[in-house]
Structure 1
Amino acid sequence: MLGNQDVHKSQLSLAVKFWGVRGSIPIPGAATSAYGGNTVCVEVLADQQRFIFDGGTGLRALGETLCQIPGPVEGHLFFTHTQWDRIQGVPFFWPAFEPGNQFHIYGGTATNGASIKQCLSTQMLQPGFSVPLQTMQASLAFHNILPGDTIRLGDVTIEPIGLSGGRNALGYCLRHGNKSVVYATDTNHEQMNENLLFLAHQADLLIYDGTYVDMCHQITSQSSTPPWQTAIELAQAAQVKQLVLVHYGPRQTDETLDALADKLQKIAPTVSLVREGMVIELP
């Protein structure tokens, strides 16, 4: 683990950086400064290829860093679903406004039947936003994907999986050489997902939605089983090498998350809570 180092200067074969770790809305401030207040955005570098999972407000900070890289920038953006916390950063992703850059954008069909392009376009229409998506001058290629697809990009393979029927949310498994990273948020906490169990088998890193236990969970879930418990059980059953939890609720302050981290250390010492800016290396 590299801590808060610059992933873009790393020569590792596989590096994961967390640019946003929150759910629902960004919550900057003194009470959340340690873990971070941006909504979910995770970057994976596999040698020279860049993969971005979800475009929450953390995407804006990632974009500022990419703007400092000389020459054209290319990347692949994979969206789990298109609720606000996953797309809030897209209108402020400055590399997408720069001609010469190229981004491939992947997502499933929303619950209303809209494609990923339609969803991202809608949020930038008047009166909700000042400029339309068509203002972006980078080359944008949109790809509609389904659970069970296999997406091959050079020596990297991406496999999407269905996670939540209510939101049509997707999870992803990225494979590069003999390493694999599984990104699974907005999961069903009441029961273990058998397809996810199969996909995460012996994964080097499982990034799981295991901490969203505030008011939203209490309202929408009838289960007394905390999400992190399901995460640990799944990781153990799938023989995952490293489990990290992400997607913190708006009411989960640094103090709350520190208490949860201490509790988890006693139950499963290999499980950790990620912080904004953290980098995990899989050399």
Structure 2
Amino acid sequence: MSVSAYRSGKESTLQYQPHISIKFWGVRGSVPTPGAATAFYGGNTCCIEVLADQQRFIFDGGTGLRVLGESLHQQSNPVKGHLFFTHTQWDRIQGFPFFLPAFEPGNQFHIYGGTAANGASIKQCLTTQMLKPGFAVPLQAMQAELMFHDIVPGSTIQIGDTTIEPIGLNGHTNALGYRLSHQGKSVVYATDTDPERIDENLIFMAHQAELLIYDGMYVDMCDQINLHPSPKPWQAAIQLAQSAHVKQLAMIHYGPRQTDTMLNALAHQLKDIEPHISLAHEGLVISF
């Protein structure tokens, strides 16, 4: 497994063609936080791109999706991909109205999501956020071919040689997690988990995955000023990773008030506990 980083369009050169490559385009939770204090880890909300040979899979459409779209716009060939939403709270869908490839004829995207807490489908949720007065351009203005798929936990989605398995994570938000399996290798994306418990189903789903991407970092304002201090979420993340025997744990979903300085200090602390833990930042690439 190799880990590399590239920023500002400068991509690291890999010495071999990986079967799976994961790039982090957005790692923040709740709201975008641009600024000098968050420049390294990044201020864009969640968006992860996975390339499995010739297939492109995108998990969540936070504001990092806009940046990914700018990169894809530079390609000369039509862009195709599969976009999976964990849930439809604002920080996971804010980038979708600004996803430039969706407005370009000839591109094609399959879009997957579960039913929201209010019963709305993924298509209804994405359509609603682009209606006036909230947004100026309706979803119908997108000229790419968009195909919407309603999915449920426990189903299996087969796309070429890649299998996607959704899992229910949080009954409060109806959030989904995903296991992507390709040629014997697996990546698990689990965010907006229930902080009150370790999910036995998630332990089963993440068993022996090459990489677990988990929301083990979020600290809200009340925690920071000790109004209601809670157990550290990364402690549950480490316990989960150890129970599932995953090979690498990458944590994301930082709170708006968690600066680069705070996260760097925590990263050093975690490395002393478990060397296979990383705090993901925008531009980080993990390949295997």
TM-score interval for Structure 1 and Structure 2 normalised by the shorter chain:
over 0.9
Q: CA deviation at 1:7?
A: 8.2
Q: Which amino acid aligns with 2:105?
A: P
List per-residue Cα deviations over 1:119-160 (Å, max 9, x = no partner): 000000000000100000000000000000000000000000
The answer to whether 1:170 aligns with 2:176 is yes
In structure 2, C-alpha distance between the alignment counterparts of 1:240 and 1:263, rounded to whole Å = 20
Q: Which residue of 2 aligns with 1:134?
A: 140
Q: Which residue of 2 aligns with 1:3?
A: 5
Q: Which amino acid aligns with 1:121?
A: T
In structure 2, C-alpha distance between the alignment counterparts of 1:120 and 1:217, rounded to whole Å = 32
* Aligned-partner SS, 2:97: helix
The answer to whether 1:15 aligns with 2:15 is no
Identity %: 69
Q: Which residue of 2 aligns with 1:87?
A: 93
Q: Which residue of 2 aligns with 1:260?
A: 266
* Aligned-partner SS, 1:131: coil
Report 1:1-283 matches (<5 A): 1-4=3-6, 6=11, 11-215=17-221, 224-282=230-288
* Aligned-partner SS, 2:4: coil
Structure 1-normalised TM-score?
Answer: 0.96
Q: CA deviation at 1:177?
A: 0.6
Q: CA deviation at 1:11?
A: 3.1
Q: Which amino acid aligns with 1:264?
A: L
CA contact (8 A) 1:7 1:17 kept: no
* Aligned-partner SS, 2:5: coil
* Aligned-partner SS, 1:17: strand
Q: CA deviation at 1:12?
A: 1.7
* Aligned-partner SS, 1:206: strand
Q: Which amino acid aligns with 1:107?
A: G
In structure 2, C-alpha distance between the alignment counterparts of 1:213 and 1:59, rounded to whole Å = 23
Q: Which amino acid aligns with 1:215?
A: M
CA contact (8 A) 1:7 1:15 kept: no
Q: CA deviation at 1:190?
A: 2.0
Structure 2 gaps, min length 5: none
In structure 2, C-alpha distance between the alignment counterparts of 1:224 and 1:261, rounded to whole Å = 19
Aligned length: 281
In structure 2, C-alpha distance between the alignment counterparts of 1:8 and 1:45, rounded to whole Å = 16
Q: CA deviation at 1:217?
A: 6.2
User: What is the Cα-based RMSD across aligned positions, in Å?
Assistant: 1.8
Q: Which amino acid aligns with 2:4?
A: L
CA contact (8 A) 1:190 1:225 kept: no
Structure 2-normalised TM-score?
Answer: 0.94
Following superposition, which runs of at least 4 residues in structure 1 exceed 4 angstroms of deviation?
A: 7-10, 216-219
In structure 2, C-alpha distance between the alignment counterparts of 1:218 and 1:122, rounded to whole Å = 34
In structure 2, C-alpha distance between the alignment counterparts of 1:255 and 1:229, rounded to whole Å = 20
Structure 1 gaps, min length 5: none
In structure 2, C-alpha distance between the alignment counterparts of 1:122 and 1:15, rounded to whole Å = 33
Residue 147 to residue 8, structure 1, CA distance change in 2 (3 Å)? farther
